[in-house]
Structure 1
C-alpha cells in the first residue's frame, strides 16, 4: 500500500467506480464533490454494484471551499462541459509535484489542463468502464471491463513521480497500466466514442438495432471512415487491430451497445457534444478532411444540447 494522497474529482459513475476501488484497496483517497452528492454519500455511503464485487464505503469527502491542502495525485473524472469549473475547484490541491490523470473523453481537455497547470503536471489517461449512477446514487457497473491506462504526454521526459502513481494504481481491483503511447490510445478511444455515439444518436438505437436495418452496416462503415480519416490526418492513424476492434463494436448483430453520450441524450441530460463530436469535426475542417455524417451528428446533438441547457 502507498501513502500517496489521492484526490478524485467527481464521484459519479466513473470517478465513483475507480476511486471507490482505490479506497476499498486501502489507498488514501478523498473525493471532491458538489454539496448534493456529498450529502448523498454521507447518508448512503459510496455504493458500487458490480460483477467484480459489491461494495459500500464511507469515503473521505471534501467540497471546493473546504479544499485547503495539496495532493500527490489528482484523478479527474468530470464531463467535458464541467472541466473549466472543476479546474478552478481543484486548483488549490495542485502543488509543483502533483500529477493529474484525466479520465475524460476526447483530446482537447489536454490543452486546457496543460495551459492551466503546465505540461509537467498532466498525464494522459484512458479509462474503459461501462457504468452509470442509478436514481439512488449507486454506481452500477453495466459490463465487466474496468481498465485505466495512463502515461506521460512526452515519453522522453516522464515525470519523476510516475513510479509512485504506478504503485498507487496497481493491485487496486481494476486493471491499471502505464504506456508510453498514451496519445494514440486516447485517439483510438475518441474515434470509437465519436463513431458509435454519432451512430446511436442519429439513428436513435443500439448497435444491434441499427445494423439490422437496411443500410445499417454501410452507415457504420461510413462513419468509421470519416473519423479514422481525421485521426490519420492528425498523425494518429488507427492500427489494423484498433480499427477492427471499433468496427466489431459498431457492426455486431444483436449488440445492445450504446455510448454514455447516447444514454445521456435519452435521459434528457446535457451531452459531451463539443468534446466528442464537435472537436473532431473542427479538426477535420482544419485538416481538410470532409466529415459530412459527423457534421449531421453535431447539428443533431447541438439541438438537444440547447434544449437541455434551456431546461436547466
Structure 2
C-alpha cells in the first residue's frame, strides 16, 4: 500500500512520520521550501511518545511517485480548494481519498470533485504544533485517527490495510464502523470549544470561572447536539455525558487550536467549523444564539485581518 500525504505539517507530518517509522510506504506532497528542509534536516518529531528524526520521501507534484492507494488530506479547511487541485493528479481510479478535516462541509467538495465512492470519512485527534524551525511538537498524551466507509458498508481493502499500518505505527484509532457519527461527535465538541474559546478569549477553565461561563458552555453544546440530531447523528445521552464532562472540567487549561491561531493573527476555520453548523441549524429551524454570536465575532476578526487591522487600535 502506497500513501500520499498532502503536507508535512503538524498533523500530516506526525501521522506520516509514525507510519514511515513503522515501515509503511509514505510520500509527502509538499512545497519547495518544505522539501528542501526535509532533505536537509529530515522529518523531526519531538513527542511524549518518543522523538524521531528520519529521512522521508517528498514530492512537489501529485504526478510524482505514484500510483497511490491512499491520498491522505490533512490541510486546514480554508486551504481545501488548493489542496484538492494539488492531489487531483494522484487520485487515480484505484486511489481512495481519506480527509482528516474537521466538520462535514469538506466532504461535499471532495464528493463533487472525485465522486463520493472514492472519498472515505476520517478525522484526527492529535495535539501537535509546528515549531518555527519546522519540527513537529507533540506534547499531549493522545494521538489518534479514525476512518471508515461513510455508508456503513464493510471497509474496502485499502482501508483495512491502512488500519493495520496505523496500529503497527503506534497511532491510536483506525477503522471506525460508524465514521459519520464519529465526525459529528468531534464536530459537536470542536464547534462548542472553538466558539466559546474564541468569543471569550480564554481556555475552557477560564470560561468556567466566569459567573455564567458553565451555563453558556452547556447551552452552546446543546445547540450543536440539536443540529447533529437533526442530521440523524445524535450522540445519545451517554456520549453527551462525556462531552459535558470534558467541557466543564474546572481548572482545565485546554483551548481550541482556533484560539491560538486567532491570538497569532492567523487565518481561522470559522466558516467550516462554526458557520456551517449554523447553516445546517437554519435549515432544520434550530435556534443557535450562542453560536451566532461567536460566529459574528469571528467574522469581524477575519474582516479586520483582511484589511490589515489586526494588532492596531479599532478606529
Alignment TM class, shorter chain as reference: over 0.9
Note closer, same or farther for the CA distance 1:90–1:310 as it changes in structure 2 (3 Å cut).
farther
CA drift at 1:164: 2.4
Q: Which residue of 2 aligns with 1:243?
A: 240
Structure 1 residues without counterparts, runs of 5 or longer: none
* Greater Cα offset, 127-136 or 35-44: 35-44
Number of residues of Structure 1 aligned to a counterpart in Structure 2: 309
The answer to whether the aligner puts 1:226 opposite 2:214 as a matched pair is no
Could you tell me which of 69, 78, 81 is aligned with 1:81? 78
Q: Which residue of 2 aligns with 1:217?
A: 214
Find the residue that maps to 1:161 and give its secondary structure.
helix
Structure 2 residues without counterparts, runs of 5 or longer: 311-315
* Greater Cα offset, 34-43 or 244-253: 34-43
Find the residue that maps to 2:177 and give its secondary structure.
coil
Distance in 2 between residues matched to 1:163 and 1:12, nearest whole Å: 25
CA drift at 1:299: 0.9
CA drift at 1:204: 0.5
CA drift at 1:157: 6.0
Q: Using structure 1 for the length normalisation, give the TM-score.
A: 0.94
* Greater Cα offset, 23-32 or 152-161: 152-161
Find the residue that maps to 1:70 and give its secondary structure.
coil
Distance in 2 between residues matched to 1:267 and 1:45, nearest whole Å: 27
CA drift at 1:99: 1.1
Q: Which residue of 2 aligns with 1:106?
A: 103
Q: Is the 8 A contact 2:167 2:173 kept in 1?
A: yes
CA drift at 1:177: 2.1
Find the residue that maps to 1:221 and give its secondary structure.
helix
The list of structure 1 runs, each at least 4 consecutive aligned residues, that deviate by more than 4 angstroms after superposition, is none
Q: Is the 8 A contact 1:32 1:64 kept in 2?
A: yes
Distance in 2 between residues matched to 1:158 and 1:245, nearest whole Å: 28
RMSD: 1.6
Distance in 2 between residues matched to 1:304 and 1:37, nearest whole Å: 29
Note closer, same or farther for the CA distance 1:146–1:68 as it changes in structure 2 (3 Å cut).
closer
Q: Which residue of 2 aligns with 1:202?
A: 199
Q: Is the 8 A contact 1:23 1:59 kept in 2?
A: yes
CA drift at 1:227: 0.9
